[in-house]
Amino acid sequence: MRPFYTKFFLILGLFVVIGIIVPAWMRYLLTIALCKGIIASGVMLLLKCGLVSFGHALYSAAGAYAVALTVKHLGVREILIIIPVGVAAGILSAAVIGLIVSRYREIFFAMITMAFSMAFYGFLVKAYGLTGGTDGLRIPPPTLFGSALPEGYERFVLYILTLIFVALVAGILHKTERSPFGFLLQGIKGNEVRVSYLGIPVQRAVLRTFIISGCFAGLGGGLLAVNSGHIDPHLSYWTVSGEFVFISLLSGVGNLNFVFIGAILVEFIRSYAFSYVPYLWQMILGGIMLLIIIFSPGGLWQIYNSAADRLKPSLKDSNPGVKHNDS
């Protein structure tokens, strides 16, 4: 446990330093990537038990619109209030839809989640009086503890707040992965029938996982809305859900926290690709996905593990205190 927390705080400190030294535009990209990483972490949890959601954008959009509507109609701009509202929206929507989709598996699960997401997209487009239609909604800068964010440092403060929420989610993911519930998810993925023969209610476990993933999506969606300052119905479109699945597969489910690395990598590759080859950036991302599937099905986590395994023998050889037995 201690090595994890040592690495955890070192990486957290590194991200704080990076936020200080990088240009504002790069810090903004990093913030958006971290928000998407929080959303994709919910997809990773579902992948952990063998389920693929192509409708996860619904819960992030629910969180984002809950934040925007709270600001617009209630006049509440306190970030410590509106973010929990977004989380609650993600939990509520996932709980309601989860009662239905938790009964299904494989392609049926993926298609039903996508259908709900597209239905919500249609509602957001048509309900112009409430959601602003395709124009979306503008979100003014939030306040913190009742005060406006420091002038000229608004983006940096939002970056630090996003980083705090990322740290919270990363800690929860670490605990979950090593808890009995985390091993239960692996068991469901491996053989759901055997798990059910043990007397464990599988559908209830899937529903619980779905609600937790909706919680993360609502949190990420709320943070995305606050950081971008504007939202529109595209947040619930199926291609956005596909992006979260892409991030999850790229990261690999071997370590849930690698989802943040995957999200940062995807965001920066897309940004640079769109800048230099605006008509080919989708092809570049697709090519990367193909290479990962062919050469490293376990994603970035598998690449990291392979590199670590190769380094261990070389480190032993370079240590003069280690005696080698040639016999």
All structural domains of the chain with their residue ranges: 24-313
The total number of residues shown for the chain amounts to 327
Helix (H, G, I), strand (E, B) or coil at 149: coil
Q: Tokens in use for 214?
A: 């909706």
Sequence-distant (≥ 6) Cβ neighbours of residue 48 within 8 angstroms: 177, 182, 185, 186, 189, 209, 253, 256
- Cα-based angle 244, 247, 252 (whole degrees, multiple of 5): 125
pTM, two decimal places = 0.88
**Cα torsion at 239, 241, 246, 249 (round to 10°)?**
-150
Q: What pLDDT digit, counting tens, does each position of 37-84 carry?
A: 999 999 999 988 889 889 899 999 999 999 999 998 888 889 999 999
Q: What pLDDT digit, counting tens, does each position of 162-182 carry?
A: 999 999 998 898 888 888 888
Query: Which neighbouring-strand residues pair with 230?
Result: 138
Helices (H), the chain: 2-21, 24-48, 57-74, 79-101, 106-126, 128-131, 154-177, 180-190, 192-197, 202-228, 238-251, 259-276, 281-295, 299-318
227 contacts 158 by C-beta, under 8 angstroms: yes
Mean pLDDT score, 192-202: 87
Q: What is the pLDDT of residue 327?
A: 39
Calpha distance 57→114 (Å, rounded): 9
Lowest mean pLDDT among 89-98, 214-223, 288-297: 288-297
Calpha distance 50→106 (Å, rounded): 8
176 contacts 256 by C-beta, under 8 angstroms: yes
The third-level CATH classification (topology) of the domain covering 24-313 is ABC transporter involved in vitamin B12 uptake, BtuC (1.10.3470)
